């Protein structure tokens, strides 16, 4: 199996966010052949079509190039007001333009939503899931909701063993999904 490069998109900008901790845990559990790297969103300006001309902002170009270079995408998102955070929606918009040349097109992906509450980011997961078919992204059918996330970590370390086992199975299945659908 070839090494597959995975862009991990963390919807939370907060450095110590639970979503980022979940992403790091999944990266640590990735099987051989899956090179998972977080693509930061914090420097990405708000999408403005007026600025997206023949010479778009350098941050737009760098982000799109990084997404195009990936074999697959793992979205890790918290839930804000029953939807995805603005930073994640902005990244999706930036990567979807110019129209007809989306960087996301054809990239196999999966979604993990995170919440300190019991529902595990259900609203965010489904709002994101609604956007991805328009971007022509084969989306892994497994729905992953990480509820009660605060109790699963001590500092940066995942301490809940059942969650670790679940994450291991998920990331192994994601590797197979990417292998099956990557261009």
Q: pLDDT digit string (tens) for 118-155?
A: 888 999 999 999 999 999 999 999 999 999 999 999 99
Fold of 4-181: Rossmann fold (3.40.50)
Pairwise CA distance, residues 167 & 183, whole Å? 25
CB 156 within 8 A of CB 24: yes
CB 7 within 8 A of CB 67: yes
Cα separations (Å) of 146 from 18, 78, 94, 136? 10, 9, 27, 26
Overall pTM surpassing 0.85 (yes/no):
yes
- Better pLDDT: 51 or 136: 136
Residue 53 pLDDT exceeds 90: no
Average confidence (pLDDT) over 7-18: 95
Residue 183 pLDDT exceeds 80: no
Every domain of the chain and the residues it spans? 4-181
Average confidence (pLDDT) over 27-33: 96
Residue 51 pLDDT exceeds 90: no
Confidence at 2, pLDDT banded by 50, 70, 90: confident
Residue 17, both tokens: 């966010």
Q: What tens digit of pLDDT does each residue of 86-103 get? A: 999 999 999 999 889 999
| pLDDT value of residue 140 | 97
Residue 134, both tokens: 């328009």
Average confidence (pLDDT) over 171-175: 98
Residue 165, both tokens: 């086992």
| pLDDT value of residue 1 | 59
């Amino acid at each position: 199996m070839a090494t597959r490069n995975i862009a991990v998109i963390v919807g939370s900008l907060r450095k110590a966010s639970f979503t980022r901790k979940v992403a790091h845990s999944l990266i640590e559990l990735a099987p051989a052949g899956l090179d998972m790297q977080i693509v930061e969103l914090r420097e990405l300006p708000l999408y403005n079509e007026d600025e997206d001309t023949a010479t778009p902002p350098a941050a737009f170009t760098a982000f799109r190039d990084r997404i195009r270079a990936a074999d697959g995408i793992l979205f890790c998102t918290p839930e804000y007001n029953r939807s995805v955070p603005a930073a994640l929606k902005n990244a999706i918009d930036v990567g979807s333009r110019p129209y007809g040349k989306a960087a996301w097109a054809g990239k196999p992906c999966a979604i993990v939503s995170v919440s300190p509450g019991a529902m595990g980011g259900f609203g965010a997961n489904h709002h994101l899931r609604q956007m991805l078919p328009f971007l022509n992204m084969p989306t892994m059918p497994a729905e992953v909701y990480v509820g009660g996330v605060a109790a699963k970590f001590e500092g940066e370390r995942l301490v809940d063993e059942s969650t670790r086992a679940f994450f291991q199975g998920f990331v192994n299945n994601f590797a197979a999904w990417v292998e099956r659908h990557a261009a």
